[in-house]
Amino acid sequence: MHVFITGGTGLIGSAVVAELLGNGHTVLALARSDASALAAEAAGAEPLRGGLADLDILRTGVAQADGVIHLAFGNDFSSAEAVGRSVGEEGAALAALGEVLLGSDRPLVTVSGTPYAPGRPSTEADPLPTDGIVGGRGRSVTAALALAEHGVRSTAVRMPRTVHHNGTGGFAGLLTQIARRTGVSGYPGDGLQRWPAVHALDAAVLFRLALEQAPAGTSWHAVADEGDRVRDIAAVIGRRLGLPVEPQPAETYGPLGAIFATDQPSSSAHTQQALGWKPTRPGLLEDLENLEP
């Protein structure tokens, strides 16, 4: 397939591009800067210059493709307003991508997040949250999945809290950044809450499988570690960086404080069984051993 990808130069997207190219597909990658265009080209993709807000460029990209993978998101979590802007931009972009695919039966694979299910690991059957700070993302993904009724093979690959590669990425990556800035490897609450995780190279395989074979309107969990205790994550970060490991107030984590404090394990049993996906890369705690002071 000739695949149009947004976010193809990111931590997850660059793994997805490599996975696609290694399995006989070709890639057209949205690139918002010269540096991103060069990176896309170096990876073997054809760059298409433009940003998520350039809806006409997005439509041009989709028109040339047999399938679409959407991963781009402005990762500024510094304030609720900044997150809200990114959520709005993504919603409009996803709607534009879907519009061009109506009636074509072509695949649209969008990124999503694993939901929270009180007292148990969440599953692929649990609905996405549509309230709270990132609730708008849930509404955008739900709208994309509804295009299954209108001739789009739309699917969602749900990411755990940390998608990691060489010890960086996701919520654990944010904990590392805060530790470097503050000199303390902290965690919110008692640290017993669990976050699920996956290696980016394993997640990339699931994006390819969803693109190639997942039925319209379905959601999948890219979860390798069902749940790592946040205190254990902070302990590895502290040891690798030579910093003390201590609990911190929720405010330390800005608009993400409440999400950081939640126990939110997640399962991928259905995904593994139905799509034959099997994560094989190192788990988060092992991958964090790659951190350098």
Ligand X SMILES: NC(=O)c1ccc[n+]([C@@H]2O[C@H](COP(=O)([O-])OP(=O)(O)OC[C@H]3O[C@@H](n4cnc5c(N)ncnc54)[C@H](OP(=O)(O)O)[C@@H]3O)[C@@H](O)[C@H]2O)c1
**Residue closer to ligand X, measured from CB, 88 or 183:** 88
**Residue closer to ligand X, measured from CB, 226 or 242:** 226
Phi, psi of 110 (to 5 degrees): -110, 150
Strands, E, within 114-173: which ranges?
A: 153-159, 162-164
- For strands 245-248 and 185-188, give the pairing: parallel
SS (H, E, C) 164-189: EECCECHHHHHHHHHHHHHCCEEEEC
- List the one residue from 1, 3, 17, 30 that touches ligand X (CB under 6 A): 30
CA pair distance 111, 115, nearest whole angstrom: 13
**Residue closer to ligand X, measured from CB, 159 or 275:** 159
Q: Within 42-101, which residues bind ligand X (CB under 6 A)?
A: 51-52, 71-75
- List the one residue from 1, 13, 194, 207 that touches ligand X (CB under 6 A): 13
- List the one residue from 2, 22, 23, 33 that touches ligand X (CB under 6 A): 33
**Residue closer to ligand X, measured from CB, 41 or 246:** 41
Q: Does 170 bind ligand X (CB under 6 A)?
A: yes
Is there a contact between 175 and 241 (Cβ–Cβ < 8 Å)?
A: no
**Residue closer to ligand X, measured from CB, 73 or 253:** 73
> What minimum distance in Å lies between the beta carbon of 244 and ligand X?
25
Q: Within 94-153, which residues bind ligand X (CB under 6 A)?
A: 111, 113
User: What would the two tokens of residue 55 be?
Assistant: 């809806």
Q: Which amino acid is at 12?
A: I
37: left (phi over 0), alpha (psi -120 to 50) or beta: alpha
> What minimum distance in Å lies between the beta carbon of 65 and ligand X?
16
User: What would the two tokens of residue 106 be?
Assistant: 């072509």
Binding site for ligand X (CB under 6 A): 7-13, 30, 32-33, 36, 51-52, 71-75, 111, 113, 159, 162-163, 169-170
